[in-house]
């Protein structure tokens, strides 16, 4: 059965250097969670604490209510029923694909082991490659073998440490979707570590943005993108630019492109200077609109252009526009805003406009 993971108020340090500072999150049985952040933020250390490779200074790590780690408590990694998929795959070069997958099934009978290996080979799309060796496989195939080997003993929890980082962009995106399907089919609780937003969005039910050893926001991918709680989360996720505004007496926010009602009434007094986050999908190209913006930059993406537009009073916004609307640099185009989620933060004079 998939396990519930409770990672509660955990701190950890290497020598005298704090790495994790009161980190808490919970993963429901069968859910896929992701820790997303820049290098050095502590996300891999969280994985190592869950696996039992590192002790905790404070807090608890528990699976289905059973404490695995706490100050003075450390269940051995091999007794935690946790599978791990490493960044470098760590396949055994002297074993075949089938032998690698069967490695974790030493307590099963020969018939049970053979049946499970056959099942997993088909599940990961390697049914005809059981007799091959690691050096005969592509990177994507090796990753599938590593995943099948970790899933073979039916772990309660699966940990994946930057599992797609050695693959090219196209393979990474395709394999992340396949891995999600496999984990859901196996009903396996999983925690993934990555620095790649697209990868996190493709695979995860819940994402925790990590920063300086803390969780900045723990939420669904949709909420993280549309309703980031902090400016850091807003800047880290997706693409966007900030437009200056001011809070009015009735709580609306005035921008140079109009007045808008925030999703949640701000607690700031009238006159407060704020920065409003605008995503590319908030700014729509509309030839019939009286509001004009000048094309500063354009990035062709096949089906669409990502335009950087300058507003009449100098503000800049992004806009995603179907690629048959091919406008020249310096040309003015009509736009309108659809702000289903208006996200604002108190003005930060030192903050630069962010391109995500």
Q: What confidence tens digit (pLDDT) does each residue in 318-334 have?
A: 999 999 999 999 999 99
Question: CATH homologous superfamily of domain 240-346?
Answer: Nucleic acid-binding proteins (2.40.50.140)
Query: Where in the chain do CATH 2.40.50.140 domains reside?
Result: 240-346
Within 10 A of 175 (CB to CB), how many other CB atoms are there? 23
Q: Max Cα separation, the chain?
A: 75
pLDDT digits (tens, 9 = 90+) for 16-47: 899 999 999 999 999 999 999 999 999 999 99
Whether residue 80 is predicted with pLDDT greater than 70 in this model: the reply is yes
Which residues share a beta bridge with 215?
210
In three-state secondary structure terms, 265 is coil
pLDDT digits (tens, 9 = 90+) for 124-136: 999 999 999 999 9
DSSP 48-61: HHHHTSS--SEEEE
In three-state secondary structure terms, 97 is helix
**Average pLDDT value for the chain:** 92
User: Quick one: pLDDT at residue 171?
Assistant: 84
HEC sequence for 114-179: HHHHHHHHHHCCCCCCCCCEHHHCCHHHHHHHHHHHHHCCCCCEEEEECCCCCCCHHHHHHHHHHH
User: Quick one: pLDDT at residue 250?
Assistant: 85
How many Cα atoms sit within 13 Å of 93 on the Cβ side?
2
Whether residue 154 is predicted with pLDDT greater than 50 in this model: the reply is yes
The CATH code that applies to domain 5-226 is 3.40.50.300
Question: And the tokens for 154?
Answer: 């039916």
Distances (CA, A) of 119 to 1, 114, 115, 139, 176: 18, 9, 6, 21, 20
CB 215 within 8 A of CB 208: yes
Q: Using CA atoms, how far apart are residues 166 and 140, in angstroms rounded to an integer?
A: 9
CB 275 within 8 A of CB 348: yes
Nearest to 149 by CA among 177, 123, 169, 176: 123
Tell me, what DSSP letter sits at residue 78?
G
64: left (phi over 0), alpha (psi -120 to 50) or beta: left
Query: Where in the chain do CATH 3.40.50.300 domains reside?
Result: 5-226
Whether residue 98 is predicted with pLDDT greater than 90 in this model: the reply is yes
DSSP 19-41: EEEEEEEEE-TT-EEEEE--TTS
pLDDT digits (tens, 9 = 90+) for 240-254: 999 999 999 888 899
Looking only at the bridges linking them, the beta strands covering 32-36 and 206-211 are parallel
Mean pLDDT (whole number) for 290-310: 95
Band (pLDDT 50/70/90 cuts) for residue 265 is low
Mean pLDDT (whole number) for 298-307: 95
How many Cα atoms sit within 13 Å of 136 on the Cβ side?
11
Alpha-carbon 32 to chain mean position:
10
Question: And the tokens for 353?
Answer: 């406009």
CA angle 30, 32, 34 (to 5 degrees): 155
DSSP 317-328: EEEEEETT----
Q: Using CA atoms, how far apart are residues 150 and 85, in angstroms rounded to an integer?
A: 6
User: Quick one: pLDDT at residue 352?
Assistant: 43
């Amino acid at each position: 059965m998939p396990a519930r993971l409770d990672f509660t108020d955990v701190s950890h340090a290497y020598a005298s250097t704090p790495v994790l500072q009161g980190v808490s999150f919970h993963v429901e049985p069968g859910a896929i969670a992701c820790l997303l952040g820049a290098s050095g933020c502590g996300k891999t250390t969280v994985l190592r604490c869950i696996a039992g490779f590192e002790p905790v200074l404070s807090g608890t790590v528990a699976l289905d209510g059973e404490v695995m780690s706490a100050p003075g408590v450390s269940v051995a990694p091999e007794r935690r029923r946790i599978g791990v998929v490493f960044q470098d795959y760590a396949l055994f070069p002297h074993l075949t694909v089938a032998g690698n997958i069967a490695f974790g099934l030493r307590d099963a009978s020969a018939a049970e082991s053979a049946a499970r290996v056959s099942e997993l080979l088909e599940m990961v799309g390697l049914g005809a490659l059981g007799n091959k060796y690691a050096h005969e496989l592509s990177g994507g195939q090796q990753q599938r073998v590593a995943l099948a080997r970790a899933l073979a003993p039916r772990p309660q929890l699966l940990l994946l440490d930057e599992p797609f980082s050695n693959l090219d962009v196209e393979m990474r995106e395709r394999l992340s979707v396949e891995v999600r399907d496999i984990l859901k089919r196996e009903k396996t609780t999983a925690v993934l570590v990555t620095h790649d937003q697209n990868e996190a969005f493709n695979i995860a039910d819940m994402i925790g943005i990590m920063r300086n050893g803390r969780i900045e926001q723990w939420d669904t991918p949709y909420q993280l993108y549309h309703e980031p709680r902090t400016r850091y989360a807003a800047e880290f996720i997706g693409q966007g630019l900030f437009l200056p505004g001011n809070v009015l007496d009735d709580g609306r926010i005035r921008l140079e492109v109009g007045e808008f009602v925030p999703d949640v009434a701000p607690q700031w007094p009238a006159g407060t200077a704020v920065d409003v986050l605008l995503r590319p999908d908030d700014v729509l190209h509309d030839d019939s609109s009286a509001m004009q913006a000048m094309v500063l930059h354009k990035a062709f993406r096949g089906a669409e252009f990502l335009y950087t537009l300058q507003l009449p009073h100098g503000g800049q916004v992004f806009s995603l526009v179907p690629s048959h609307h091919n406008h020249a640099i310096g040309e003015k185009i009509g736009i309108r805003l659809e702000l289903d989620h208006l996200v604002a933060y108190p003005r930060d004079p030192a903050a630069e406009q962010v391109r995500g």
